[in-house]
Amino acid sequence: MEPKLSELFSYSESSLLLWKSVKDMYDSQNNSVRIFQLKKSVASLKQGDHSFVQHLGSMKSMWNELDMYRPHMTDSAMLLKKADEDKVFQLLASLGAEYKDLHSHLLMTQELPSFTNMCHAVQKEEIRRRVMNVEPKSNSKARVFTTNHKATDDRVLGKKAD
């Protein structure tokens, strides 16, 4: 345990209370962000300059961590939920950069939304962007650059800026 973290638990009256405090602090955490990050990393992992053994070691390490967060099971309801979560993770990983804030927000919720609810949220965000005339960040930077230079050009030419 890191020294700074141990300070939080240093005055526990017994080891049982210490373990209960640690469990309460970490057991209720939503691991969706880490699971998403691991799944995205596994999907994009390439051998590159690493040997096969190093590459396999990296992959197995991520798989083992995923198994810790999402143990294998036979309960059909839990299997369906896990499959739905996998669809959510794949959808989020496939979205463009303009949805980064939305998927960060959705991953931080107490319980990961269902695939259907995730689709609704993305559609609402797309409509909101259209109604608010929000452009992707790369285009808006270009527009600001163009607008600033147009105003400068207009002043040089003696025109009033709109």
3-state secondary structure of 97: helix
- pLDDT band per the 50, 70, 90 thresholds, residue 142: very low
Q: Region 11-19: what's the mean pLDDT?
A: 74
Q: What is the mean pLDDT of residues 62-89?
A: 86
**Range with the lowest mean pLDDT among 67-81, 97-111, 140-154?**
140-154
Q: Which amino acid is at 77?
A: A
Q: What share of the chain is helix, strand, coil (3-state, %, to 5)?
A: 75, 0, 25
pLDDT tens string 84-139: 988 888 888 888 888 888 878 888 888 888 989 988 998 998 898 888 887 665 54
Nearest Cα residue to 99 out of 132, 133, 134? 134
